[in-house]
A and B are shown apart, each in its own frame.
Chain A
Amino acid sequence: MSTLLELERVTKRFGGLTALDGVSLRVGAGEIVGIIGPNGSGKTTLFATASGFLRPEDGDIRFDGRSIVGLRPSRINALGLARTFQIVQPFAGLSVRENVVIGALRGGRETLATARRIAAEVLDLVGLSPRAGQPAGNLTLPEQKRLEMARALATQPKLVLLDEIMAGLRPAEVDQAIGLLRQIRGRGVTLVIVEHLVRAVLALAERMYVLHHGSLIAEGRPDEVIHQPAVVEAYFGTTDGSPARA
């Protein structure tokens, strides 16, 4: 399997705080890779750095065979790397359809007619077609999460970084989302999911990384990784029976 995204000893500091400490990982084309970790472990920073919103102090990030460190987010998106936000950021005053059309325009590289066609397809896929004419600000939270997905997909990415798209969803909605992500992968899109909800990651990911205090502490198949002592400790405190830290 060819490598699509590769991080090599990526370090990101905010003042004295090291948010990412020499993180190396690779994502193969067509994979679903999960990244889990407790609050503040650096998951969102990892995505922000990979998508060009933050510039790492050290290390290299390669996407589709070329280094993308220092490129603008819009440029990185144009190369085929899309991302959703943990805190949804719809263009609230614009209609749901316009939101997705803007993604499908790919910064002006598609015609409006093509963009409209792609947008209609993607809205169908995520089940938002009935809401297409509504202002995006009127959507419920689960719908806004699907809109984030739709916008990202409309840019015709090779890989999507999905930041906590299950958070705040009810169990039935989580199952729906899992089904949707499988469908998207079925179309040849590589997915990297950051998720608090370990159940969703276990159901989807073929490989998994665990972040803790900005460092990777485990990687491998989900069912193996989840039982490693370092992972259990990161989530629940020490394994010798002393009380867990919140």
Chain B
Amino acid sequence: MTAEILVQAMVLGLLQGGIYALVAAGLTLIYGVMKVVNFAHAEFLTLGMYLAFSAYTLLGVSPYLAAVFALGLVFVLGAAVQRTLIRPALRHPQINQLLITIGLSTMLIGAMQIIWGPRNYVVPLPWGRATLGLGDLRVTYTRLIAFGVAVAIAAGFWVFLKRARGGLAIRAAAQSPDAARLMGINVERVNLVTFGLGTGLAALAGALIAPVFFINPTFGIDYFLLPAFVIVVLGTMGNFVGAMVGGLVIGLAESFGGLLLGAALRQFASLAVFVLILLWLPRGVFGGRMT
């Protein structure tokens, strides 16, 4: 095994990890604010991929422009889902919320199958296979763009959480909903916006990776749901920065795992990390909540 292969694996792992980070960021945000575990999260990513696909093949719109619309569209859809399915369940036991999001996942997969069919699609960008070469290292531009935009969006969102009024309201509601209400914060609206943003970010990530992967109705649940959960737990449920770092860690773990054990077992490494964390650091690496 040569050093070039290791470097290649590391770069690919980081590139994948950036996307994981953005997807997990939305998931951890929703959990942090509402304490709802959204099992339908990956379907919003798949939906973002299909939206980018249809925008490109039907309208000739670039997937990267479509990503913006996917964010907006799925924000509205996510908010509607929160209002109709999640909000009424917030007062009920967590198992009810769990079953609702699992049901939602099944429904969304079915709906996408009806609309787009079960076959695999690709977004046939003319330069989709073009690569950037640095010595022996080869990376497609599509992956580089997806990574760059995902990391920039996640960083921008972090600044929003830290610095903006809306971000402060979200963090306050996550820490103590009752106290937030007393501070004049409309926690119901914060919940609505947070769910819309979290699912919207997943759709945005989906649109960004639409030119990289095959698109089918179960793509998200097959390849992103499990890593996203591992990352959220690794980075401490509800911790935004934890999700960022965890995303990169799991991206690397999968990449090196695939290298050592073969592509079919690539998730073995990340699941091993997951099990070890649950055994030894059940509260995640970052301890406290949403900092």
Give the interface of A toward B (CB within 8 A): 51, 53, 72-74, 77-78, 82-83, 85, 89-94, 98, 101-103, 105-109, 112, 115, 137, 151-152, 155
Contact = CB atoms under 8 A, between A and B. Distances in A.
3 shortest interchain CB distances as A-B pairs: A107-B184, A91-B175, A73-B181
Contacts of A89: 176, 178-179
A101 B178 contact: no
A89 B290 CA distance: 16
Given A89-B176, A91-B171, A91-B172, A108 B182 contact: no
Contact of A109 (B184, B289, B290): B184
A105 B186 contact: no
Contacts of B178: 53, 73, 85, 89
B172 A73 contact: no
Given A94-B172, A102-B169, A107 B186 contact: yes
A74 B175 contact: no
Contact of A93 (B166, B168, B183, B289): B289
Contacts of A82: 182
21 contacts: A72-B181, A73-B178, A74-B185, A74-B186, A74-B187, A77-B184, A78-B184, A82-B182, A85-B179, A85-B182, A89-B176, A91-B171, A93-B289, A94-B171, A102-B183, A105-B169, A106-B184, A107-B186, A112-B163, A112-B164, A115-B165
Contacts of B180: 91, 102
A74 B168 contact: no
Interface string B31-69: 000000000000000000000000000000000000000
Contacts of A151: 179, 182-183
Interface in B155-202: 163-166, 168-169, 171-172, 175-176, 178-187
Nearest to B176: A89
Contacts of B171: 91, 93-94, 98
A223 B178 CA distance: 36
A100 B176 CA distance: 14
A83 B179 CA distance: 9
Contacts of B185: 74, 102, 107
B288 interface: yes
Considering residues B175, B176, B288, which has the most beta carbons from chain A within 10 angstroms of its beta carbon? B175
B291 interface: yes
A51 B168 contact: no
A107 B171 CA distance: 13
Nearest to A104: B183
Nearest to A111: B165
